[in-house]
Chains A and B, each alone.
Chain A
Amino acid sequence: MSDAGLKSRLVPRLLLAPAVSTLLLWMIVPLAMTVYFSFIRYNLMRPDVTGSAGWMNYEFFITNPAFGDAVFNTLLLLGSTVLVTVVFGLLIALLINDPFPGRALVRVLLISPFFVMPTVNALLWKHMMMNPIYGVLAQVWTFFGWTPIDWMTDFPLGSIIIMISWQWLPFAVLIFVTALQSMDREQLEASELDGATYLQQLRYLYLPHMARAISVVVMIEVIFLLSVFAEIFVTTAGGPGTASTNLAFLIFTEALLNFDVGAASAGAVFAIILANIVAIFLIRMIGKNLEN
């Protein structure tokens, strides 16, 4: 506003128009349709049954015993992955912050998993790492004389958390390393002369400096991890039972496997509400860090 620039007030608005209008369409049209579908009887296998459904679809979706599990799994998946990646991301970033032989190569190796597509990630871990007979982890377990774990059966959600953390840990490391490089060296040296221990430096210098970077990592991960799908789709298919079903996968099951568009849409409305609750919570918590 203070900027005298772009002459009139019209030009900046015109520049915004394509982005705002397409995003608005992208949001409103599916949202309106989803809400509409959620109130009608719409089953692809029963085209003869039509008409208003009232709150039936919602009732059907909520009373589905899988619903509670799915909400819980969605939040658990999100929470654990964020926690694991932020904590280990910080530790690894601190570890590789100062130069050492081969640091550039270490960085390249560390960030590679971020570029691996979710379907490959999932299949790679399911078969080659976690297979209870031939898998690498089974071999490691046998080497130490332990009984190999049947990951997909005994820890389905845990396995998926491992896969997703493997993918997102590099992202956290990447951001944290970059943030650490802008630390004030003189301040660090001064604190050393004053006899500050490493732990004190971590608490009073590193952590405050990293607050913004941590906020960014949490924000981006929440955006991407609320709707994890491919990893579940190609590994456990939500099972056994509902042990690894998240909300995204449950809606998918209703819509494309049970052909019940009405119930799936009611589920989608729940997913949107949940996402908004998390978003508001998130913006309250870390929004301040993102402002200037």
Chain B
Amino acid sequence: MNRSATATGETYSGPVRDEGLLSFEGVFFTERPVGQMRPGDHAWLAFGGSEERERVVGAFVTAGLATEEKVVYVTDADPLNLPGVRWPGGADPHAYVRSGALRVLPRERTCLSGDRFDPRRLLDALGEEVSRAFGEGFRAVRITLDLTWATAHAPEEVAACEHGLAAAVSPSTMAMAICQVDRRAVAADRLAALRGAHEVLARPDPEFDDGVLRLVRTFDPPGLRLEGELDAARHTVFAERLARAAAGRRRVHLDCGRLRFMDPAALNVLVRQAMRLPRDGRLVLDRMPPHLARMIDAVGWARLPGLAPGRSGGR
């Protein structure tokens, strides 16, 4: 495939680019697919539903155990029912617990003093897990916990805890962490303040990525983010991933902000999917780049039944 490019003396680095930094109100974050997290990442996940949580937390936990890293989950749940984790068939969570690879720490023994959230105690407990891990032969430790409950009744303590965690994890060559919050249960200003204590935003792994096109599931609003270039070589995989993202939904959003190219035949794929949505369903195109907006302007929305323009500009 590179033959022709070489023959014409051209090089091209590929259309899918990692934007690197993302800014919220002047604070910069790195967005990272969970599969690319590494020691030193102190990451934030404000999930809006069980599916989103599963795709990040579940992948974080099971991938860690599969590569013989240590996983520490602060929760009162049983290892079989860890929040956000759907165990693959044949997995034996209790075996991981016995081997020490999976540490499920109940809150009472980790971060409570009486019934109050105690950040000091949590940081000590996690610090001990990390320092023991090296001697136990693990090359990395993955930490995760859900702070929704603590944020509700002790926001200052949670903020202090996050700064302590950032100070412990960021310079570490062993530890990485995902701090989870259910964004439906926490006020927006508190969410923003807590998010600000993290450098990394944990994201689901892409549905598809071949260097030319990347498809990423989105959850707020639900749909797909398209990055790179969409042409006939990828219509089939796109149609299939789109159908999956649309299953059971009425409105499906496509974030086109990073879509560098889309061919006219892809509009056919979109209309076909829109027609399979429930009655009055819509496929909404958000953040259309100028090339796409001009093409649709030329053919007219009337020829694209079931498609609708969404929001424009930045996020």
A and B: bona fide binding partners: no
Binding site for B on A (CB under 8 A): none
Binding site for A on B (CB under 8 A): none
